[in-house]
Structure 1
Amino acid sequence: MKLISWNIDSLNAALTGTSERAGETRAVLKKIAAATPDVFAIQETKLRTDPTKKHREALAEIFPDYEYVWRSSEEPARKSYAGTMYLYKKDYQPKVTYPTIGAPSTMDQEGRIITLEFPDFYVTEVYTPNSGNGLKRLAERQIWDDKYREYLTGLSKDKPVMASGDFNVAHEPIDLAHPNSNHHSAGFTDEEREHFTKLLAAGFTDSFRKLYPDKAGAYSWWAQRAVTSKQNNSGWRIDYWLVSDRIADKIQESTMVDTGKRRDHAPIELKIDL
């Protein structure tokens, strides 16, 4: 089974935009379509509500053999913010749920989690809240991390889980280019890293690190505003495919999809024999 996950940073821009960056993003979408994943998870769709007719036509053109489901941010949360989507091959008929986890503030209304239930396993995606500038959302983020861990372990008690997404944390110093200067930055605080450690300890395996325990310089995000971030490989690994420990031996590959010169997130791919 092949699964791909990507924080796209605006599906709307990717499908309807005319900028050079929109063109780069569409090229990556076409590359993903050509790879024919069984399931494709998208985070940070930034759709205002439902996909428009123009969005649907563009998706049908790029992914003609796929069904899709989505979850957009809704009031009292901001519109056109966060949001998630799944595309999956039409041969599949998963049960789709849009869970709330008792998160603080408006986090449960920001469209951050979708779960697909298959007969023998779950596939779920998350767009974890960023702690923000000045770590203003760090306290709420820690509550989110606890609630999300409870949710994921609940799923895993029922069936094996494959969980992907932008987790907004670089777990260990090896997971970012400049750990010493980012110790108090969102995504690399002690608190965020500790919560990710707790998540793994609750019964989950970081698929990339299982295969490549000592590989440095492998990142999934480069700052879009820093023109040389990707040229210098000054990146972070903050996107993950996690799997329940009991199916970790089924992992065949876990890697990043090359996006050329496009900065921001790279898609991540998991191949697993179920």
Structure 2
Amino acid sequence: MKLISWNVNGLRACVQKGFLDIFKELDADMFCIQESKLQEGQISLELEGYHQYWNYAIKKGYSGTAIFTRREPMSVAYGIGIEEHDQEGRVITLEFAEFYLVTVYTPNSQSELARLDYRMRWEDAFLSYLKGLEEKKPIVFCGDLKESQPSSKQMKKKPVIVCGDFNVAATELDIKNPKANVKNAGFTLEEREKFKTLLDSGFTDTYRYLHPDQIEYSWWSYRFKARERNAGWRIDYFLTSDFVQDKIRDARIHTGIMGSDHCPVELDIDL
């Protein structure tokens, strides 16, 4: 199963830069986007063979997420169930028989860390939401009496795959100039500690799991020719529940794909 995540930084602009061709070329089973910057009805995508799910911010032209999937999910949820955090279209959750897929666009702490306090509240709430998904009992479909009895496999936790723009470079390997950015949004000690707490709670950074020492980035500022100089940050991730580490087959960063200030990231997993 091939999954793609991409912060498109404005889907209408990205479509003008070749999004549909890239979408077809990547040929993912599930394709998640962040920062769509759309309201309902502002775009119509012809994605043959895909179900489309959208979460829009109340504020126009801001934030927003979407998932395009070949498989129809059992259920869909928008947000994390907390009003304070569900105004900006940042989370979509699809439930399948074998796993949950969550896409997220984590709030940016902004210049001078104006939104850092809010970001810290978000981090705690989002972690609680993810762990809550893991703890839910998988649905057992009832037929005859024998079929209705849950098997040992069905009684296990259901794994979570969470992907998106987490707006944090986890370690010094994930940012070009760590010392110069230590007090900047996306690389503060507070943000990195929250991400570490997320991983320590039972999630695997799939790219780091397969490439522990490799240096690649997924975001570059539009300023100062940052992409030309590869002065980037790795802030886009696929995380999985730790107990399906052995199912991870590949994790890639498509650094050569243009169209946004981010590039797509990929997970191949056998669930």
Sort the TM-score into its range (normalised by shorter chain). 0.7 to 0.9
**Deviation at residue 32 of structure 1 after TM alignment:** 2.7
**Consecutive aligned runs of 4 or more in structure 1 exceeding 6 Å deviation:** none
Aligned-residue RMSD, C-alpha: 1.5
2:50 match: 66
**What amino acid sits opposite 1:222 in the alignment?**
W
Q: Distance in 1 between matches of 2:256 and 2:99?
A: 30
2:152 match: none
Decide whether the 8 Å contact of 1:224 with 1:263 is kept in 2: no
Normalised by the size of structure 2, how large is the TM-score?
0.88
Decide whether the 8 Å contact of 1:259 with 1:266 is kept in 2: yes
After the TM superposition, which residues 60-99 of structure 1 pair with which residues of structure 2 at under 5 Å, given as runs? 60=46, 63-74=47-58, 78-89=59-70, 91-99=71-79
SS in 2 for 1:169: coil
Alpha-carbon deviations, 1:78-113, whole Å to 9, x = none?
222100011011x43441111334374xx4200000
Aligned length: 250
Decide whether the 8 Å contact of 1:103 with 1:147 is kept in 2: no
Normalised by the size of structure 1, how large is the TM-score?
0.87
Q: 1:224 aligns with which of 222, 225, 232?
A: 222
1:37 and 2:15 are equivalent in the alignment: no
1:152 match: 130
SS in 2 for 1:9: coil
**Deviation at residue 36 of structure 1 after TM alignment:** 1.7
Decide whether the 8 Å contact of 2:4 with 2:32 is kept in 1: yes
Decide whether the 8 Å contact of 2:6 with 2:34 is kept in 1: yes
**What amino acid sits opposite 2:132 in the alignment?**
G
After the TM superposition, which residues 90-109 of structure 1 pair with which residues of structure 2 at under 5 Å, given as runs? 91-102=71-82, 104=84, 107-109=85-87
Decide whether the 8 Å contact of 1:70 with 1:86 is kept in 2: yes
**What amino acid sits opposite 1:190 in the alignment?**
L
Larger CA Rg, structure 1 vs 2: 2
After the TM superposition, which residues 1-274 of structure 1 pair with which residues of structure 2 at under 5 Å, given as runs? 1-15=1-15, 22-23=16-17, 26=18, 28-47=19-38, 49-52=39-42, 55-56=43-44, 59-60=45-46, 63-74=47-58, 78-89=59-70, 91-102=71-82, 104=84, 107-158=85-136, 159-216=158-215, 218-226=216-224, 228-260=225-257, 262=259, 264-274=261-271
**What amino acid sits opposite 2:229 in the alignment?**
N
Structure 2, gaps ≥5 residues long: 137-157
